Amino acid sequence: MSIAGVRIGHFTESDAGTGCTVVIPPPGSIGAVDVRGGGPSTREIELMQPLAGEREVTALLLTGGSAFGLAAAAGVMEWCEREGIGLDVGTARVPIVPAAAIFDLGVTGNARRPGPGDAYLACEEASGGTVETGSVGAGTGATTGKVLGQKGWCKGGLGYAEETLYNGATIAALAVVNCFGDVVDDDGAIISGAWDEGGFIGTSRWAARNAPVHHRLSDSEHTTLICVITDARLSKIEAGQVARAANAGLCQAVQPANTSIDGDVSFCIATGERDANPAVVGLVASAVVAKAVRQGVTGATPLRGVPTGAERRLGQAE
């Protein structure tokens, strides 16, 4: 992480196939959100809407465990209170901790969900150094390509990428990739997604030609979470526009994305240290997000019998 003052920490429970990730920006950072998926699982994100009165975000939690995992945000609040950070309301400092969750219960078997103590540990471990990626934190139990159900899954994960602008401003992105659809490379080739009979089937193409077989095709059990982090100086509305632009990067790398059964959410956190053109920040954020999504699946490791896309191609998971 090259942005001064930003810390990222993970709690990973590989045996259970779940975890959570926390982003702790410096005090005064602006937060915004753009929700495009039809089935989001979130907490306190209304405070990040462009027209909401609150501008600052104390910390952001990305978590597994579906709606159960949102309870882990209490641990982030406890840690922030101990550190004396949050919105000053006179009688106390109230941490503003939005959260969003992915559905990873299909991997965990609902045996374990991140809780407050786990998120507290993620805060304790948070640092501004190298960001660990792959099957860690909120990406531990992530999967891709759900149209055929579990037999066709590939392993998803947590990805990270960043880019520095000509003037020194930095745009970084975290991506928790747990999508219903397929992850594709720059040329549109599938690198992680629904697999059958020795090859990737192409979710949209398959759905057009076959009757649904997924046992819960109508349920919202799939989500990609994006967090763009920048040291650019942005207003809350501008940060919201960057969060929206970030979604374009998601749509480049995940096909289909933003479906009625995905809970796709894009956040933007701006620390305000450097001048930068907001439109340029949005343009670059889109490319950085696409890179982070792809990195999240190429860096993933197999878990509980769910292979990676690379393993599928090599025939190791037949």
Q: Is the Cα torsion angle 165, 174, 202, 193 positive or negative in sign?
A: positive
Indicate the SS3 state at residue 313.
helix
Split into its structural domains, the chain has a count of 1
The dihedral formed by the CA atoms of 183, 307, 21 and 148, expressed in degrees to the nearest 10:
60
In the chain, the N- to C-terminal Cα span, in Å, equals 38
* Residue 219 scores a pLDDT above 80: no
**Domain limits at 65?**
7-311
Lowest mean pLDDT among 39-53, 129-143, 230-244: 39-53
What is the distance between the alpha carbons of residues 7 and 132, in angstroms, rounded to a whole number? 12
Query: Which residues are CB-contacts of 14 (< 8 A; sequence separation ≥ 6)?
Result: 135, 140, 303
What is the distance between the alpha carbons of residues 195 and 187, in angstroms, rounded to a whole number? 19
Residue 199 lies in a domain: yes
The helix (H) or strand (E) run that includes residue 290 is helix 278-298
* Residue 233 scores a pLDDT above 60: yes
Looking up tokens 């040329």 gives 187
DSSP letter, residue 109? T
Residue 230 lies in a domain: yes
Q: What is the pLDDT of residues 63-79, one digit of tens each?
A: 999 999 999 999 999 99
Average of pLDDT values for 133-148?
Answer: 94
Residue 316 lies in a domain: no
Comparing CA positions, the residue from 200, 193, 199, 162 lying closest to residue 177 is 193
What is the distance between the alpha carbons of residues 220 and 228, in angstroms, rounded to a whole number? 24
Q: In this structure, are residues 154 and 195 in contact, taking their beta carbons and an 8 Å threshold?
A: yes
Q: What is the pLDDT of residues 180-202, one digit of tens each?
A: 999 999 999 999 999 998 899 99
Residues facing 286 on adjacent strands? none
Q: Which two structure tokens, joined as six digits, stand for 177?
A: 């990739």
- The pLDDT value given to residue 220: 54
Looking up tokens 């520095």 gives 164
Angle, helices 236-253/278-298, rounded to nearest 10 degrees: 40
Q: Which two structure tokens, joined as six digits, stand for 81?
A: 């209170």
DSSP secondary structure string, 49-102? STTSS--B-S-EEEESSHHHHGGGHHHHHHHHHHHT-SEE-SS-EE----EEE-
* Residue 318 scores a pLDDT above 70: no
Q: In this structure, are residues 13 and 19 in contact, taking their beta carbons and an 8 Å threshold?
A: yes
Q: What is the pLDDT of residues 241-289, one digit of tens each?
A: 999 999 999 999 999 999 888 999 999 999 999 999 999 999 999 999 9
Residue 318 lies in a domain: no
* Residue 217 scores a pLDDT above 50: yes
What is the distance between the alpha carbons of residues 45 and 98, in angstroms, rounded to a whole number? 5
CATH at 220: 3.60.70.12
The dihedral formed by the CA atoms of 225, 230, 234 and 239, expressed in degrees to the nearest 10:
-10
Percentage helix, strand, coil, to 5, in the chain?
Answer: 30, 30, 40
Residue 1 lies in a domain: no
Lowest mean pLDDT among 77-86, 116-125, 158-167, 209-218: 209-218
Residue 317 lies in a domain: no
Residue 119 lies in a domain: yes
Pick the more confident residue, 220 or 99.
99
Q: Is the Cα torsion angle 171, 308, 35, 32 positive or negative in sign?
A: negative
